[in-house]
Amino acid sequence: MTDRIVYKILTPDEHDALTRAGSLAGSPADLADGFIHLSAADQVAGTLDKHFSGRSGLVLVAVDLSLLDPAVVRWEPSRGGQLFPHLYAPLPVGAVVATAPVARTADGGVDLPV
């Protein structure tokens, strides 16, 4: 895949942990799966609907893949056979290029910070 910017939806506690520690090992689901689940821009709304429905206070971070070791990022099939970016290492705060509260657009999409 060629997307350079991908996204991670975080709970407020996860976002606090990322900024406090300088990196994030992942959510409970990430830890169980052995990698950090990320989404391309066109996958964020679907990820939000499937995994975060009804949750409030969520934070969307934009991650620049060019700031990560390419050996720890894999695009792998997931929901409906789509290729999703998976990070096989902790997410360093230095790879986060923008942060914003999760906000829906009028058409049901997600307002992306980058």
| Lateral strand order in the sheet of 83-87 | 36-37, 83-87, 73-77
Whole-prediction pTM:
0.93
Assign 54 a pLDDT band (cuts: 50, 70, 90).
confident
- Within a domain: 13: yes
Q: Is 109 a member of any domain?
A: no
pLDDT score of 1: 63
Residue written as tokens 């893949």?
Answer: 65
**70 domain residue, yes or no:** yes
Within-domain flag for 50: yes
Does residue 113 belong to any structural domain of this protein?
Answer: no
Is 112 inside a domain boundary? Answer: no
Pairing of strands 59-64, 5-10: antiparallel
Percentage of the chain exceeding pLDDT 90: 80
For residues 91-103, average pLDDT: 97
pLDDT tens per residue, range 24-33: 999 999 999 9
Distance (Å, whole) CA 54 – CA 66: 33
Host domain of residue 71: 5-101
Instruction: Report d(CA 98, CA 86) in Å as an integer.
Output: 19
Task: Please tell me the predicted confidence (pLDDT) of residue 99.
Answer: 97
The DSSP-derived string for 49-82 is HHH-TT--S-EEEEEEGGGS-GGGEEEEE-GGG-
Question: How many domains does the structure of the chain reveal?
Answer: 1
Q: To which residue do tokens 């991670």 refer? A: 8
Residue type, 81: G
CATH number at residue 51: 3.20.170.20
